[in-house]
Amino acid sequence: MQRYYYALDLRDDAAAIAEYERWHRPGVIWPEIVTSIRAAGIEEMEIFRTGNRLVMAVKIADDHMPSARSESDADADARTKEWEQLMDQYQQRLPWAEPGQKWVMMGRIFSLKEALKAL
């Protein structure tokens, strides 16, 4: 199992942030979105927030690439595209994001496990 972490900012507006969080609650998020995430080979996904910064943690099977979800979104059905457009109104790109890129993959800079091995 591989783990990847991504970052994205929300518009710095308390009402918009609350609405974005509401859309992601169980029973509110569209079932088609949950299905499309799993279809991309994603085993687990969590999104965390501090202020207007989001961090998404993704676990995927070893035989899948981290780009599977974004490639899947590019060929998405109408419902997934509609969801992405809806979420886009709450999101703002990180200043270093590539054109058209929403979530930016984060690079690991520390591992306790590796540091302990080095002792």
Residue 63's pLDDT is what? 81
Q: Domain 2-118: which topology?
A: Alpha-Beta Plaits (3.30.70)
With vertex at residue 106, the alpha carbon angle to CA 5 and CA 2, rounded to the nearest 5 degrees, is 40
Residue 106's pLDDT is what? 98
H or E element that contains 15: helix 14-23
d(CA 51, CA 63): 35
Residue 33's pLDDT is what? 96
pLDDT below 50 — which residues of the chain?
A: none
3-state secondary structure of 94: coil
Residue type, 1: M
**Average pLDDT of the chain to the nearest whole number:** 92
Residue 76's pLDDT is what? 72
* pLDDT tens per residue across span 66-81: 665 555 555 678 999 9
Residue type, 101: Q
Residue 61's pLDDT is what? 87
Q: Which residue ranges make up each domain of the chain? A: 2-118
Residue 115's pLDDT is what? 98
